[in-house]
Amino acid sequence: MIAEFALLFALMAVVVVAPVIGQVRRLAPQIAKLRAELAAPPQMRELRFTIREVIAVPVAAQIVAFPARVAPAAGKPGHWRKAA
C-alpha cells in the first residue's frame, strides 16, 4: 500500500514538474537576451508622463487637468526644464 502511494506521488511530481522545466528551457534564450539588454542600456531613454493635480475643497474634490505643453525634443537645450 505504501509503495503504491510512493509511486503515485512520484508520478504526480513528474507530471507537475515536467511542464515547468519545459517552459524554463524555452524561455532561457529570451531571459538571456533581456539580461544582455539590461546590462548594455541605450545611451538615451525617453520618458513621457502627464502631471495631474487634485485640488480638494471642503465640499467636494475636483480633478483639474493642466493644459498640455509642447516641450522641445530630447537632446535640444532646455528639454529637461519643460518637464518640471
How many domains does the chain contain in total? 1
Q: Is residue 75 part of a domain?
A: yes
CB 82 within 8 Å of CB 73:
no
**What is the span of the domain harbouring residue 58?**
52-83
Q: Is residue 65 part of a domain?
A: yes
pLDDT digit of tens for each residue in the chain (84 aa)? 888 889 999 999 999 999 999 999 999 999 999 898 888 877 777 788 887 776 666 666 677 777 877 766 766 776 665 555
Q: Is residue 30 part of a domain?
A: no
Which three cell numbers, joined as nine digits, stand for 21? 522545466
Q: How far apart are CA 37 and CA 43, in angstroms?
A: 12
Which three cell numbers, joined as nine digits, stand for 53? 493635480
Q: Is residue 31 part of a domain?
A: no
Q: What's the predicted TM-score (pTM) here?
A: 0.37
Q: Is residue 34 part of a domain?
A: no
Closest Cα to residue 83, out of 49, 52, 56? 49
Q: Is residue 71 part of a domain?
A: yes
All residues at 6 or more sequence positions from 82 whose CB lies less than 8 Å from its CB, including other chains: 69, 71, 72
pLDDT in tens, 3-19: 888 999 999 999 999 99
Report helix, strand or coil for 53: strand
